[in-house]
Chains A and B, each alone.
Chain A
Amino acid sequence: MNIVVCVKQVPDTWAEKKLSATDKTVDRESVDGVMNELDEYAVEEALRIAEASGGEVTVLTMGPDKSVETIRKALSMGADKAVHLVDDGLHGSDALATSYALAKAIGTIEHDLVILGVESTDARMSVVPAMLAERLGAAQLTFARKVEVGGGTVKIERLTDTGYDVVEASTPAVVSVVEKINEPRYPSFKGIMAAKKKPLTTLTLADAGIEADKVGLGGSATTVGDVAARPPKQAGQIVKDEGDGGTKLAEFLASQKFI
């Protein structure tokens, strides 16, 4: 099984996230970037499947130059090679444009499976995996907490509102994973050293056959209008329990008309 795993560099989980004042895109310059947490689970799952069934794992990321840090991390975890889609023309791409560009880049890589995290912590849209399945004409196997691969089919347990669905498809398929699926490994020292020698291909729009007017701010189909920072929340009242904490809390709830 050859696998493409899509990872995104996002602002550090605990960093205060901002929108750029000039074009209202996520400000990626002023904060440290990390690999989107859920994508670590995607990398782990890809490595496990490749280890069990043979095949290569290619990391794919679309993002500015500094996203190469995230590529390095995935390579240190054990991925075989990487593709970095980077071009100024991609800046400001919305989900529709991002899924188009990623699909084009995936088209340059031989693969049976594409694995992603279910959601990025910055956009929080949770749509790119389904959009990729639609674009690639591949089976959609998303929100997986368990993936089984064998004999050209892939079977997952998909988390749902009320439990889970068992869903099966033949390859090629697009799989997105939740955090219940595995425990991502830490890169070892050996892995970090090895990563430096692994092949990394950089693609521009032209290299990937991406039409420039379908990506970036201009090619996106959504426009951000007004942005307003919410006034800071007033500090709440915190009371130490002196034996009457439950009663105090009941009084508060009553004062707010919840009881």
Chain B
Amino acid sequence: MAEVLVLVEHVDGAVKKVTLELLTLARSLGEPSAVFVGSAAGNGGADNAKAKLAEYGAAKIYVAGDSELESYLVAPKAEVLAQIVASSSPAAVLIPSTPEGKEVAGRLAVKLDSGVITDAVGVDDGFTARQSIFGGAFNVSSTVSRGTPIITVRPNSTAPEPSPAAGAEEQVSVTLPDTAKQAKVLDRVTEKKGGRPELTEAAIVVSGGRGLGDGSNFALIEKLADSLGAAVGASRAATDAGWYPHTNQVGQTGKTVSPQLYMAIGISGAIQHRAGMQTSKTIVAINKDPEAPIFELVDFGIVGDLFNVVPQLTDDIEKRHSS
């Protein structure tokens, strides 16, 4: 069966769910090989990661473990993939559609002179990628007509299912050209709030905006989110005001989410915000302004003061859970 490369997204060896989704998807297209780049210092080292990748169907696992690869921005990952493509001629390369994943894909496309498709929500036979464009107004299918298909796939596009495979490890040693060593990473700073599901992976996202009036009122959003097991999002107005970390911003320049349920609370629904959430399956809004553009998108909307509606809603949910 044709080999399909999947670039592993991980944090210090902890494999992200999107990787398991891509392995599951790759199994329907050929035989998946995982490509693991990094030294994986934490989380039990690369061993835990390898076990997980094999569990989800990686027949082969390429490991590029040189710590130098993590000292420079993006270019090394594209270099690793290009060298594996050159030696193993896979049928396609699948990469998570994250900002960095797309950049890796772009550089790889240039190296291989191959076509690149980003933000696929599915990939069918013949590596036909399905995309949803212009804010979900059109569904388009595209193919790569030259070179090795490079496709970035959005998180939540496939349900991950285990299907154990050999996970045969193959070490790759990569020599980085000087052009891949120009952008030095001096520091990596974490600003994220922990303890809640990851925004792009969550089934439910509860987002707050300027309507909250103050950062401390995000406690209302967090309490509601926790009652639903949801992730917390924010509009740009809220992140720019410093009420919530920018890592939680949903929208054009924030994260793109497509959960089963999206709740917009005190958010007007500017086009840049919609760009990050309008493909959500069910959309709910609470806003005191009946003219707010967010209401054009909703399945269910409450016109009212969030300071009354949200606590009542949270109470009601908690009561339903305990009864």
Given contact pairs A131-B107, A259-B228, A143 touches B300 in the complex (Cβ within 8 A): no
Contact of A250 with B320 in the complex, beta carbons under 8 Å: yes
**B317: CB under 8 A from chain A?**
yes
Give the total number of A-B pairs whose CB atoms are below 8 A apart: 270
Pick from A11-19, A84-92, A200-208 the stretch touching chain B: A11-19
Cβ–Cβ contact A140 & B142, under 8 A: no
A94 vs B310: C-alpha distance when bound (angstroms): 46
Docked complex: B114-169 residues within 8 A CB-CB of A: 114-119, 128, 132-134, 136-147
Contact string, A108-128, partner B, CB cutoff 8 A, digits 1/0? 000000000011010011111
Asked whether A4 is an interface residue with its Cβ less than 8 Å from the other chain, the reply is no
A168 to B182: give the CA distance in the assembly, Å.
Answer: 8
Sorting the interface of chain A by its residue count into under 10, 10 to 19, 20 to 34 or 35 or more gives: 35 or more
B308 at the interface (CB under 8 A from A): yes
With a CB–CB cut-off of 8 A, which chain A residues contact B295? 236, 238
- Note all chain A residues with C-beta closer than 8 A to B298: 236, 238
Query: CB-nearest residue of chain A relative to B312?
Result: A246
Is A142 in contact with chain B by the CB < 8 A criterion? yes
**How distant is the Cα of A252 from the Cα of B316 in the complex, in angstroms?**
12
CA distance A154 to B57 in the complex (A): 43
Partner of B106 from A13, A134, A169, A254 at Cβ < 8 Å: A134
Contact of B53 with A by CB under 8 A: no
Q: Which of A126, A229, A252 has the most CB of B within 10 A?
A: A126
Q: A138 touches which one: B106, B182, B192 (CB < 8 A)?
A: B182
B182 close to A169 (CB less than 8 A) = yes
Give the docked Cα–Cα distance between A238 and B147 (Å).
50
Interface residues of A in 175-220 (CB under 8 A from B): 178-180, 220
Chain A CB count within 10 A is highest, among B73, B252, B301, for: B73
Q: Which of B32-40, B183-191, B211-219 contacts A (4 or more CB under 8 A)?
A: B183-191
B98: Cβ under 8 A from any A Cβ: yes
Specify which chain A residues have a CB less than 8 angstroms from the CB of B308 in the assembled complex: 241, 243, 245-246
Q: Closest residue to A172 on the B side, CB-wise?
A: B182
Which chain B positions have C-beta within 8 A of A163? 188-192, 245, 247
Interface string of A79-108 (1 = CB under 8 A from B): 000000000000000111001000000000
**How many angstroms between the C-alpha atoms of A38 and B251 in the bound complex?**
13
Q: How far is the CA of A151 from the CA of B245 in the complex (A)?
A: 32
**Which listed residue, A178, A222, A252, touches B284 by the CB 8 Å rule?**
A252
Contact status A225-B141, CB under 8 Å? yes
Q: Are A239 and B189 in contact (CB under 8 A)?
A: no
Contact: A162 with B316, CB < 8 Å? no
A245 to B301, CA, bound (A): 9
Residue-by-residue, is B13-56 near A (CB-CB < 8 Å gives 1, otherwise 0)?
00000000000000000000000000000000000000000000
> Do most interface residues of chain B lie in helix, strand or loop, or is the interface mixed?
mixed
Q: Are B240 and A238 in contact (CB under 8 A)?
A: no
Secondary structure of the A contact surface, majority rule: mixed
CB pair A178 B192 closer than 8 Å: no
Pair B184/A240 contact, Cβ less than 8 Å: no
Q: A250 vs B113: C-alpha distance in the bound complex, in angstroms? A: 52
The answer to whether B196 has its CB under 8 Å from any CB of chain A is no
Q: Are A249 and B302 in contact (CB-based, < 8 A)?
A: yes
Query: In the complex, what distance in Å separates the CA atom of A160 from the CA atom of B188?
Result: 9
Q: Contact between A166 and B185 (Cβ–Cβ < 8 Å)?
A: yes
Contacts of B272 in A (CB 8 A): 37
A137 lies within 8 A of chain B by Cβ: yes
Complex-state Cα separation, A126 to B78, whole angstroms = 16
A36 to B246, CA, bound (A): 22
In Å, the complex CA distance between A102 and B102 comes to 19
Complex interface: chain B residues within 8 A of A227 (CB) = 138-140
Q: Is the CB of B321 within 8 A of A259?
A: yes
A141 interfacial contact with B, CB 8 Å: yes
In the assembled complex, which residues on chain B have CB atoms less than 8 Å from the CB atom of A142?
73-74, 103
The one of A14, A19, A118, A228 in contact with B253, judged by C-beta atoms closer than 8 angstroms, is A118
Interchain residue pairs A-B with the least CB separation, the first 7? A241-B304, A246-B312, A221-B115, A127-B106, A139-B182, A246-B313, A163-B191
Knowing that A162-B11, A222-B145 are A-B contacts, what are 7 other residue pairs whose CB atoms are under 8 Å apart, sorted by A's residue number?
A121-B252, A131-B106, A134-B78, A137-B179, A236-B299, A236-B300, A249-B313
Q: Identify 26 residue pairs between A and B in the complex whose beta-carbon atoms are under 8 Å apart, listed by A's number.
A: A96-B109, A118-B99, A121-B275, A127-B102, A127-B105, A134-B75, A138-B182, A140-B74, A140-B183, A162-B190, A163-B188, A164-B189, A165-B189, A167-B73, A179-B253, A222-B115, A222-B116, A226-B140, A237-B300, A237-B301, A241-B304, A245-B313, A246-B312, A249-B300, A250-B316, A258-B228
